[in-house]
Amino acid sequence: MGDILLAIPTIRALQQKDVEVHLLINQRWHELSEFLPAKTHLFKGAAAMPALIKSLQKHDFAAIHDLQGKLATIALSLILKAPIKTRYVKRQLSEQLAALRGKFPLEFSDQRPVWQKYAESCGLHIETPDPTISLSEAYLQQSRALLKNFNLAESEFIALHADASKPGKILPPELIGELRRQSEKPLVLIGTGTSPVETGGEILDLRNQIGLHQLPGFLKMACGLISSDSGPMHLGRAVDLPLVGIFLQTSPSLGFAPVPGQRVMVVSNELPCKPCSLHGQRETCPQKTFACRDFDFVQTAKKITDFFRKKR
């Protein structure tokens, strides 16, 4: 999800040049299609490739920008026979091997944010990136009806995405507890996690109850989002929500920070051992300290609650 949302500033900048943009995304993210500012096509796997090729060939593309560099996208771009303007390289081979070997801290030569790399590899220089998706009024009305089902009021809660697909990104329960104590607004847990979280009172657990298609509108109804380094973090930015992105084992230096803006704050403690993994996949600390998860929770929660207070 993050890769798609980080490409939106590039898509919008191309459209400002009167370029018609078509976006090819994985089928698993099809529920985001209607919100994306481009004509969207779905990649459904190798078996469906012939049908996809036939559909894409009808458009006679003037150029292809490959922002993934995977075998499937390389093969597809060759078959379509359009000039390949971009073949994005995420990192050098030596850096990729270092990450695979578990070397840390990871230090990449190119520390530009991914959204900027996408833009510049497409020949664009963007001063003020626009990462927003489009939500229709009819869709937002459905989102307001969803709020009523959960007895929530618009702009009267903060969404909290504490889980992640990798263990090194999951927010510590101590931080969640401190946020619960200090927040001036009720917290609402979102996402697909199942880890135990103390709820009741100031925390409502709606994990696994809000689908991906519903999530952009639900976030738009909140007054802020606190998120781990994850796809929902980028989705919060895409609906222009006051956002706090928290990086634990990972680091913004790897390029995956949210697109910057006046309503965005990134929390990431600088440590000599960080980042120790590319995507937060370490389950145990290589230095036996887990310093990235053991910090001043009281002060961090205060910094976050102060941020939201100023953004009201």
In a domain, 44, yes or no: yes
The model's pTM is 0.95
Q: Are residues 60 and 98 in the same domain?
A: yes
In a domain, 127, yes or no: no
Residues spanned by the domain of 56 = 2-121
pLDDT, residue 225, reads 98
Q: Are residues 22 and 162 in the same domain?
A: no
In a domain, 42, yes or no: yes
Q: Cα separation of 37 and 12, whole Å? A: 7
In a domain, 167, yes or no: yes
Coil, strand or helix at 218:
helix
pLDDT, residue 78, reads 81
pLDDT, residue 68, reads 83
C-alpha dihedral (44, 48, 54, 60), degrees to nearest 10:
30
Q: Are residues 156 and 288 in the same domain?
A: yes
Q: Are residues 100 and 216 in the same domain?
A: no
Q: What share of the chain is helix, strand, coil (3-state, %, to 5)?
A: 40, 15, 45
Q: Are residues 176 and 271 in the same domain?
A: yes
In a domain, 129, yes or no: no
pLDDT, residue 213, reads 98
Q: Are residues 116 and 143 in the same domain?
A: no
Q: Are residues 295 and 159 in the same domain?
A: yes
Q: Which residues of the chain have pLDDT under 70?
A: 85, 199-201
- Look up the CATH number of the domain holding residue 253: 3.40.50.2000
Q: Are residues 210 and 91 in the same domain?
A: no
Are the beta carbons of 223 and 184 closer than 8 angstroms? no
> Given 61, 93, 121, which residue is the final one in a domain?
121
pLDDT, residue 136, reads 97
User: What are the structure tokens assigned to 105, written together?
Assistant: 């801290």
In a domain, 279, yes or no: yes
DSSP state for residue 258 in the 8-state scheme: P
Element containing residue 160 per DSSP (H, E): strand 158-161
pLDDT, residue 25, reads 95
Q: Are residues 76 and 200 in the same domain?
A: no
Q: Are residues 80 and 141 in the same domain?
A: no
Q: Rounded to 5 degrees, what angle do the CA atoms 184, 224, 298 make?
A: 50
Q: Are residues 183 and 295 in the same domain?
A: yes
Q: Cα separation of 47 and 25, whole Å? A: 16
> Given 121, 151, 183, which residue is the final one in a domain?
121
In a domain, 209, yes or no: yes
pLDDT, residue 249, reads 96
pLDDT, residue 201, reads 67
> Given 92, 121, 150, which residue is the final one in a domain?
121
pLDDT, residue 32, reads 97
How many domains does the structure of the chain reveal?
A: 2
In a domain, 255, yes or no: yes
- Look up the CATH number of the domain holding residue 111: 3.40.50
Q: Are residues 190 and 72 in the same domain?
A: no
